[in-house]
Amino acid sequence: MLKNIPPEHPRYQSLLQRETLIEAVENGVAAPAGLVAQGRGEAMDYLFGEETLAFARAAIRAAALAMSLARHPVVSVNGNVAALCPSDLVALSKAGGGILEVNLFYRTPGREEKIESILKSFGASEVLGVGSDASASIPELLSERRRVSPRGILASDCVFVPLEDGDRTEALAALGKTVVTVDLNPLSRTARRAAITIVDNVIRALPLLCEELATVSALPENVRRAELQTYNNQEILAQALDYLTDRMARLARGFREG
C-alpha cells in the first residue's frame, strides 16, 4: 500500500508502522488482534500529537532506574513489539533492561519460534519462554498465557511489558513484581496497575529508555534508589490527562474560531 502513498502524506509515519504490523500478521509473527491494539495506539498517539512528552520522559527515567536496580529484570516480548522494534528490544536487553522472554496473548504454533528468530537475527544471544522453556505457570485468567519461563518472568523482580493487556499486568503486579509498561492510553488498566507507565509510542520510547539506562547506570545505587522513591505513577498519568485536557480545549477553541 505504501507504494501508492507519498512520504509527504500527513499520516505517512503512522501508515508505515501500520504496514509493518499488517505484514507481521501475514507472516504469523503478530496476531490479528494486535492490529486492533495498534489502532488504539494510533488514536492515542494522534491525540498526544505524536510526540514524547514530559510525563513520558519522567516515566522513562524511572523505568531506567527500576531496571538498573532490579536483581533479575525481564523484558517480555509479544508479537507487536517484536514486529515493531526488534532491534530496540535487543539493545535494551544488552543495556541491562533484562533477559528477553517471549510471552504471547495468543500462543499459536510457530509464533514463539518466529519471534525468537527475529530477536536472534538482531543479535539476541538468548530468548526465554519459547516452547518447553515456558514450563512454569503463574495464576492468570487465561490458561494459555499462564506459561512463563522459570528462569525468566517467574524468577523476576522487575518485568518490562510494553503494549500489554490489563489482565496480564494485574497478574504480574499481584505477584509483587515491579511492572514497567509502555501504554499510550493513560486510562487503561495496564497503565493504572503498572508501577511505571510510559505513555508514549513504543517506537520512540525504547531508544530513549536505552539511553537513559546507560546514563543512570553510572550513578551510585543509593542515589538511584532515592530518586526512584520520588516517582509517582498516578501523578504521571494525571499529567498525561492534563496534556489531553489542555490540547482538547485549545483545539475546541480553534474549531469555534474557524
Q: Which residues bind its own copies (CB under 8 A)?
A: 1, 4, 10-11, 18, 21-22, 25-26, 32-33, 35-44, 46-47, 106, 142-143, 166, 185, 187, 189, 234-235, 237-239, 241-242, 244-245, 248-249, 251-253, 255-256, 258
Reduce the DSSP state of residue 159 to 3 states and report it.
strand
Q: Which is nearer to its own copies, 37 or 99 (CB)?
A: 37
- Tell the smallest beta-carbon distance from residue 118 to its own copies (Å): 19
Strand-pair partners of 10: none
Q: Which is nearer to its own copies, 11 or 225 (CB)?
A: 11
Q: Please, what sign has the CA dihedral across residues 52, 202, 71, 174?
A: positive
- Tell the smallest beta-carbon distance from residue 159 to its own copies (Å): 22
Contact 158, 63 (CB under 8 A): no
Contact 237, 186 (CB under 8 A): yes
- Tell the smallest beta-carbon distance from residue 127 to its own copies (Å): 25
CB atoms within 10 A of CB 225: 12
Angle at 21 between CA 43 and CA 44, to 5 degrees: 10
The three cell numbers of residue 169 are: 499486568
Burial class, 190, CB count within 10 angstroms (exposed 0-12 / middle 13-18 / buried 19+):
buried
Q: Which is nearer to its own copies, 41 or 97 (CB)?
A: 41
- Tell the smallest beta-carbon distance from residue 142 to its own copies (Å): 6
Q: Which is nearer to its own copies, 175 or 244 (CB)?
A: 244
| Rounded distance between C-alpha atoms, residue 146 and residue 207, angstroms | 29
Q: Which is nearer to its own copies, 221 or 257 (CB)?
A: 257
Contact 200, 185 (CB under 8 A): no
- Tell the smallest beta-carbon distance from residue 193 to its own copies (Å): 13
Distances (CA, A) of 26 to 19, 21, 114: 11, 9, 12
- Tell the smallest beta-carbon distance from residue 245 to its own copies (Å): 4
Q: Which helix (H) or strand (E) holds 197?
A: strand 196-198
Amino acid at 8: E
Q: Which is nearer to its own copies, 226 or 252 (CB)?
A: 252
- Tell the smallest beta-carbon distance from residue 96 to its own copies (Å): 30
Q: Which is nearer to its own copies, 219 or 244 (CB)?
A: 244
